[in-house]
Structure 1
Amino acid sequence: MLEQEDFRPVTLADRAFFEHHYTLYPQTHSDNTFTNMVCWNQIAQYRYAHVNGNVILASTIAGVTRFRPPIGPRDPALMKDLIRFAMEIGDDTPIVLIDPQTVQWMKELDPSLTLIPDRNHFEYVYRASDLAELPGKNYLKIRSQINKFRKNCGHTVEPITAGNRQEVMEFLVKWCEWKGCENDFVLAHEKEAVFFAIEHFTELPLRGLLIRVNSQVSAISLFERLNEDTALVHFEKGLPDCEGIYKAINAETAALLAGEVTYINRESDLGVAGLREAKMRYHPHHMVEVWSLKR
C-alpha cells in the first residue's frame, strides 16, 4: 500500500531517471516535465514514488497535496491504491492532470468516480509552421504587428548561452521591476522559477533565444523537446521597449523549432481571461485536455 514514505523530493540529481522513464512513456503535458518540477519546486514541493515500474507525482501547494495518475504500465491495483491514498490525505480534488485515456480507464475500474474536465489547465498546442509563418487571414493582425516591430526596432536574435547568461539575469531583474513581481504572489514565484531555469541552464534540457533591442536584451524564450513531435515553451518574457516584442520572440522561437518538430505546446492559460484570449488568437491545432478526480 502506498504511504508518505514512498515519496521523495524531485531534485536536479533525478534528471537521468526522469529522462529514461519519459523515453518509455512520453509526456504531453508540461506539468509532468522534469524542468517544470525542479523550476517550480519552491512553491509546489514536487515529490515522486517509483512503484511497479510506474512513477507517481505529487505536489504540495499551500499545504494541499495533490497527485497525478501513475505514469507507466496500466496497473489496476496500483491505481485503486493511489485513489485510496489520495482520498485520505488530499483535498476535494485529490488527483489532477488526468489524460482522457486514463479517465476512461478509471471509469471502467470504478464507475462511481467523479471525474471532471479542468479547462484552466488544458494546454494549447499549435502547428510550429503556423506560428513561424503566420499564414492567411487568421494571422493578418499579428503579421502586421511583427512587421511594425521589425521596421521600428533595431534588433538582433541570438541563442542563450553561458556567454550571455548574466545579461539574461539582468534582463529578468528589469522584467520583474516592470511587472511588480514582489507585489504579486504568482509573479513572485514565476520570478523564482525562471531565475532557477537560467541559473541551472546547463543542468536542464533547456534551450533559449533572446532578442536585443539597441544591443540590450529585451525578450527571451526558454524551451525544450517535450516528445517526438512536440516542443514545449516554458517561459517567454519581454520588456515594453518596442511594441510587438512578445509576438516577435514567439515568431523567432517558432521559426527555429519548425524545422525540428511538428507542434509547439505553449502551456495553459490558468483561467486568466486575457491570457486565454491571447492564446486563442494564435488558433491552436489542438488542446492537451486534462481532468480531475473530485470527492
Structure 2
Amino acid sequence: MLSQEDFRPVTLADRAFFERHYALYPQTHSDNTFTNMVCWNHFAQYQYAYVNGNVILASTILGVTRFRPPIGPRDPALMKALIRLAQDIGDNTPIVLIDPATAQWMRDLDPTLTLVPDRDHFEYVYRALDLAELPGKNYLKIRSQINKFRKNCRHTVEPITPANREEVMGFLVKWCEWKGCENDLVLAHEKEAVFYAIEHFAELPLRGLLIRVMSQVAAISLFERLNSDTALVHFEKGLPDCEGIYKAINAETAALLAGEVEYINRESDLGVGGLREAKQRYHPHHMVEVWSLKRDV
C-alpha cells in the first residue's frame, strides 16, 4: 500500500500544494513547514508522499531515513502501512515528530508500539506580548540588557526587502566569519539554510526584520505565520559589536508580531545546554511536544 516509490523530493514548486494542505491541517511544529524543508533540503533531503488525502514527510540525514506521521484524515490502514515501511528501511527511530494525540492513536492501533517523548525537539512557544513587553520581575535582567543596548548603540529597525537583500547577505558573511561556520559542521549547514532563505526570500512565505547599528546591518530575524494564532521565528542572527543585540532583535520581532498573533514559536533547543537555558529564560507559555517511535531491539 505504501512504498518508497510513492515519495518524491520537496521543491520550491511544491509551495502552493503545501499551503493548500496545511490550510486544512494547520501545523504546530517548525520541522513540517515548507520553508524549513526547502531551506534545509541540502542537509535533510526532504521527500513527501500524498496518499488518501494525507501528506507523509520523510527526511534522509547521513544516509538514515526517518518518517513523520501522516498529515490528514485518520487512516488506520495507512498508518499501519507507514509503520511497516518505516521499520523496514529506517533505523532504531523510524518515525519521529509525532504529536501527542497521534501518539495515543498509534498506541490504540497497536499497544505493542514503543513511543517515547523526544525532549530535544520540543519547541518553545511564548506569548507574543510577553516577548514584546517583557513584563514583571521575570524579565528584569533582559529588560536591563535591552535598555543598555538602546543607550549605547545608535540603531534603526527596518523590514527586510529586495532593496536591502544584498546588505543582509553581506551581514551573513560577517556572521559566519565571526562564528567560524567553516570549522563547525552544524553552523556550516545552518549557513547554507539561512543563505537559501535570503536568496529565495520572495519565493517563500517569509518576512524579516533587521537592526542597523551605525548604518550597518548588525542583526536579522526571519519569520512567518505558522497557523491561525502562532508565528514562527526561523532564524535570528546578530553580530557581537553591541551587547544585547540578540535580545533587541527578539523584542523588535515580537513587538511587530504581537499585533498579529497570540503566540510565537521559537523552535527547539536540540538538547544544547546553553541554548536550552537561554530559551527557558524567556519563560515559555507552553511546549510543542513530540514523540518518537522506537524499534524494539
Deviations 1:43-85 (A, max 9, x none): 0000000000000000000000000000000000000000000
Alignment of 1:277-288 (within 5 A): 277-288=277-288
C-alpha distance in structure 1 between counterparts of 2:232 and 2:226, whole Å: 6
Q: Give the superposition deviation at 1:101.
A: 0.2
Alignment correspondent of 2:134:
134
Matched, 1:63 2:63: yes
C-alpha distance in structure 2 between counterparts of 1:236 and 1:63, whole Å: 29
Alignment of 1:31-180 (within 5 A): 31-180=31-180
Deviations 1:211-251 (A, max 9, x none): 00000000000000000000000000000010000000000
Alignment correspondent of 1:29:
29
Deviations 1:248-272 (A, max 9, x none): 0000000000000000000000000
- The alignment partner of 2:162 has SS state of coil
Alignment correspondent of 2:250:
250
Alignment correspondent of 1:231:
231
C-alpha distance in structure 2 between counterparts of 1:43 and 1:271, whole Å: 19
Give 1:151's aligned amino acid. K
Q: Which aligned runs of 4 or more in structure 1 are off by greater than 2 angstroms?
A: none
C-alpha distance in structure 1 between counterparts of 2:177 and 2:223, whole Å: 24
- The alignment partner of 2:225 has SS state of strand
Alignment correspondent of 1:271:
271
Give 1:74's aligned amino acid. R
- Unaligned ranges ≥5, structure 2: none
Alignment correspondent of 1:190:
190
Deviations 1:116-136 (A, max 9, x none): 000000000000000000000
Q: Give the superposition deviation at 1:4.
A: 1.1
Alignment correspondent of 2:294:
294
- Report the aligned-residue RMSD: 0.2
Alignment correspondent of 1:2:
2
C-alpha distance in structure 2 between counterparts of 1:292 and 1:105, whole Å: 13
C-alpha distance in structure 1 between counterparts of 2:239 and 2:37, whole Å: 26
Name the TM-score, length of structure 1 as normaliser: 1.00
Alignment correspondent of 2:20:
20
Deviations 1:134-175 (A, max 9, x none): 000000000000000000000000000000000000000000
C-alpha distance in structure 2 between counterparts of 1:197 and 1:40, whole Å: 9
- The alignment partner of 1:168 has SS state of helix
Deviations 1:81-120 (A, max 9, x none): 0000000000000000000000000000000000000000
Name the TM-score, length of structure 2 as normaliser: 0.99
C-alpha distance in structure 2 between counterparts of 1:234 and 1:104, whole Å: 29
C-alpha distance in structure 1 between counterparts of 2:75 and 2:4, whole Å: 20
What percentage of residue pairs aligned between the two structures are identical? 88
- The alignment partner of 1:163 has SS state of helix
- The alignment partner of 1:219 has SS state of strand
